[in-house]
Amino acid sequence: MALSPILVQKYNRPVPRYTSYPTVPLWEEELSSSGWENLVRKAFKMTGSKEGLSLYIHLPFCESLCTYCGCTKRITKNHDVEDPYLKAVFREWSHYLGLFEGLPKIAGIHLGGGTPTFFSAQNLNFLISKILKSAEVLPDHEFSFEGHPNNTTFGHLQELARLGFKRVSYGIQDFDLTVQKAIHRIQPFEKVREATENARKIGYTSVNFDLIYGLPHQTLETLKETFDRVYELKPDRIAFYSYAHLPSAFPAQKSFEDFLPNEREKRALYDAGKEMLIEMGYEEVGMDHFALPDDPLCIAKRTGNLHRNFMGYTTSPSEMLIGLGSSSISDIGLGFAQNEKNSSSYEQILKENKLPIIKGHIQTEEDKVTRKLILDLICQGKANVPFSIWEKLPIENMQSLFEMEEEGLVKINEGTISVTAEGMAVVRNICMQFDMRMIASKAQKASFSKSI
Please name each of the domains of the chain with its CATH number.
Answer: 24-362 (3.80.30.20), 365-447 (1.10.10.920)
User: Is 114 annotated to bind ligand?
Assistant: yes
Residue 138 zone, left/alpha/beta (φ > 0; ψ -120 to 50; rest)? beta
185 annotated as ligand-binding: yes
Q: Kindly report the number of other CB atoms within 10 A of residue 80's CB atom.
A: 7
How many whole angstroms separate alpha carbon 249 and alpha carbon 429?
A: 22
Cis peptide before 423 (omega within 30 of 0): no
To the question of whether residue 173 is assigned a binding role by annotation, the answer is: yes
Q: Does 200 count as an annotated binding residue? A: no
Q: What is the pTM of this model?
A: 0.94
For Cα atoms 185, 186, 190, give the angle at the middle one, nearest 5 degrees.
130
Burial class from Cβ neighbours inside 10 Å (0-12, 13-18, 19+) for residue 294 reads: exposed
User: Is 68 one of the annotated binding-site residues?
Assistant: yes
State yes or no: pLDDT of 226 exceeds 90.
yes
Q: Is 407 annotated as a binding residue?
A: no
- Is residue 446's pLDDT more than 60? no
Q: Are the beta carbons of 170 and 152 closer than 8 angstroms? A: yes
d(CA 304, CA 131): 32
- Residues 6 or more apart whose Cβ sits within 8 Å of residue 302: none
210 is in an annotated binding site: yes
The β-bridge relationship of strands 61-62 and 53-59 is unpaired
pLDDT in tens, 169-195: 999 999 999 999 999 999 999 999 999
For 335-378, write each residue's pLDDT tens digit. Answer: 999 999 999 999 999 999 999 999 999 999 999 999 999 999 99
pLDDT at 41 over 70: yes
Rounded CA-CA distance 365/383 in Å is: 18
70 is in an annotated binding site: yes
